[in-house]
């Protein structure tokens, strides 16, 4: 019986019987191409939230830089003005310009306080606080409110100078 006929066939190995009539190779052949689909699905599943978080962080960082520059520039403009009314106008204009450089609007988010005496007095200083609320990207207005925004603020104190002439 060397012809290998139907009578001479050995019974299948026990591991082959557990799999069924199809072999392991046949089953793996059916799985071809699924890795690419799974990789793309998982890539998108993880990439979309990561990109969203990056956009939100970049917006907050841009606003933080904007309010910091606005407070510093407003303080400098205030102490260089000729009188108090001009100082307030120049400070606001400087803050608006610094915020516009970052693509932001100042609105009513600026407050100016004169410390250590009066405004534009020798030895005094001015404290400028700029506030801005960063809306989270792609959040509709219906879901807005305090949960969908991040407040950012900066305070800068600029001395007028102890030996300067008072202009108040």
* CB contact at 8 A, 149 and 133: yes
- pLDDT tens-digit map of 18-39: 555 556 666 666 666 677 888 8
According to the model, what pLDDT value does residue 153 have? 97
Query: Does position 165 have pLDDT exceeding 90, yes or no?
Result: no
Nearest to 133 by CA among 35, 39, 59: 59
Q: Which strand (E) or helix (H) includes residue 38?
A: helix 34-79
pTM: 0.72
């Amino acid at each position: 019986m060397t012809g290998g006929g139907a009578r001479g066939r050995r019974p299948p190995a026990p591991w082959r019987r557990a799999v069924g009539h199809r072999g392991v190779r046949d089953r793996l052949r059916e799985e071809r191409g699924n890795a690419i689909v799974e990789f793309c699905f998982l890539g998108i599943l993880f990439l979309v939230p990561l990109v969203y978080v990056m956009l939100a962080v970049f917006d907050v960082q841009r606003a933080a830089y904007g309010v910091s520059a606005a407070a510093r520039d407003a303080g400098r403009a205030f102490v260089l003005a000729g009188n108090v009314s001009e100082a307030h106008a120049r400070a606001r204009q400087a803050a608006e310009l610094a915020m516009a450089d970052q693509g932001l609007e100042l609105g009513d988010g600026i407050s100016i306080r004169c410390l250590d005496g009066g405004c534009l007095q020798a030895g005094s200083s001015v404290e400028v606080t700029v506030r801005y609320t960063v809306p989270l990207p792609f959040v509709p207005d219906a879901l807005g409110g305090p949960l969908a925004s991040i407040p950012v603020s900066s305070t800068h104190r600029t001395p007028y100078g102890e030996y300067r002439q008072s202009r108040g």
